């Protein structure tokens, strides 16, 4: 089987770094697709819809490529925490997560338009936060760029300051569930890519 060109439909440097860990050669073409969060959808469904929207935009322009779209959200129950617009909102999000266990969900869409193949899956990881003092929250917001991160935090950037434990895929919390992605690519016959 001829290996397709692989495109990551994401501007996230963290996702690029993760994909490189699989040893894949790929191009990055960020998708210009608005992320949506309809209230009638579950967090898993929202991630899948957004991952599909991103993959579809790039796959239409590159029908012979294998396009990977992804979307990650942080949720506490049904409350979804996206990327904060400013440091005040980032502090509020971290205070809301303090001492609690929340869920990080990443939806992934693999799409090959010419081959008429598409696969959607979502992976969930639970993350327990330490009890955070106001001083610890301020310190974290100063030391990490929280504005480009869902939930206003990054496990790979001073995560030990705020995170007590995780249950599930570590790479999923960063933004791409590598274990599941490797399995799905293998199931599609691309195990030689890995």
Number of domains in the chain: 1
Question: What is the rounded CA–CA span in Å between residue 31 and residue 15?
Answer: 14
Reported as a pLDDT band with limits 50, 70 and 90, residue 156 is confident
Residues 149 and 122 sit within 8 Å (Cβ to Cβ): no
- Per-residue model confidence as pLDDT tens digits over 131-148: 999 999 999 999 988 888
Residue 30 lies in a domain: yes
> What are the pLDDT digits (tens) for 21-33?
988 899 999 998 8
In-domain check, residue 102 = yes
- Active-site residue, 71 included: yes
Closest residue by Cα to residue 59 from 8, 13, 105, 101: 8
| Structural domain range at position 95 | 6-193
Question: String of b and e for 63-74 (b: at least 16 CB within 10 Å)?
Answer: eebbbbbbbbbb
Q: Name the token pair of 175.
A: 């933004």
- Whole-angstrom distance, CA of residue 73 vs CA of residue 60: 25
In a domain, 148, yes or no: yes
Average pLDDT of span 155-182 = 93
Which position among 27, 71, 148, 160 bears the catalytic label?
A: 71
Residue 1 belongs to a domain: no
Q: Say if 141 falls within a structural domain.
A: yes
Predicted pLDDT at 26: 94
pLDDT at 132: 95
83-131 confidence digits (pLDDT tens): 899 999 999 999 999 999 999 999 999 999 999 999 999 999 999 999 9
Is residue 193's pLDDT more than 80?
no
Cα pseudo-dihedral 39, 124, 25, 115, rounded to 10: -60
With a cut of 60, say whether residue 1 has pLDDT above it: no
> Is position 29 within any domain?
yes
pLDDT of residue 149: 86
Residue 66 forms part of a structural domain? yes
Residue pointed to by tokens 């799905």: 184
Model confidence at 58: pLDDT above 80: yes
- Rounded to 10 degrees, what is the CA torsion of 75, 10, 61, 122? -40
Q: Is the pTM of this model over 0.75?
A: yes
Q: What percent of the chain has pLDDT over 70?
A: 98
Q: Is pLDDT of 78 > 60?
A: yes
Specify the CATH number for the domain of residue 125.
3.90.950.10
Q: Is the dihedral of CA 126, 123, 39, 70 positive or negative?
A: positive
Helices (H), strands (E): how many in the chain? 6, 7
Check whether 171 has a pLDDT greater than 60.
yes
pLDDT bucket at 34, cuts 50 / 70 / 90 = confident
What pLDDT shows up at residue 69? Answer: 97
Indicate the pLDDT class of residue 194, thresholds 50, 70 and 90: low
């Amino acid at each position: 089987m001829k290996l397709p060109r692989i495109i990551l439909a994401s501007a996230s440097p963290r996702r690029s770094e993760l994909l490189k860990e699989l040893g894949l050669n790929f191009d990055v073409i960020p998708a210009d697709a608005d992320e949506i969060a309809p209230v009638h959808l579950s967090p898993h469904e929202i991630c899948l819809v957004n991952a599909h929207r991103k993959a579809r935009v790039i796959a239409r322009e590159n029908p012979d490529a294998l396009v990977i779209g992804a979307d990650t959200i942080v949720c506490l129950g049904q409350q979804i925490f996206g990327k904060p617009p400013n440091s005040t909102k980032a502090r509020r999000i971290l205070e809301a997560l303090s001492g609690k266990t929340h869920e990080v969900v990443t939806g992934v869409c693999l799409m090959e338009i010419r081959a008429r193949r598409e696969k959607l899956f979502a992976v969930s990881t639970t993350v327990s936060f330490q009890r955070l003092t106001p001083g610890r929250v301020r310190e974290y917001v100063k030391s990490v760029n929280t504005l480009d991160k869902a939930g206003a935090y990054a496990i790979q950037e001073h995560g030990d300051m705020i995170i007590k434990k995780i249950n599930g895929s570590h790479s999923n919390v960063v933004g791409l569930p590598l274990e599941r992605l490797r399995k799905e690519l293998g199931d599609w016959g691309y195990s030689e890519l890995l």
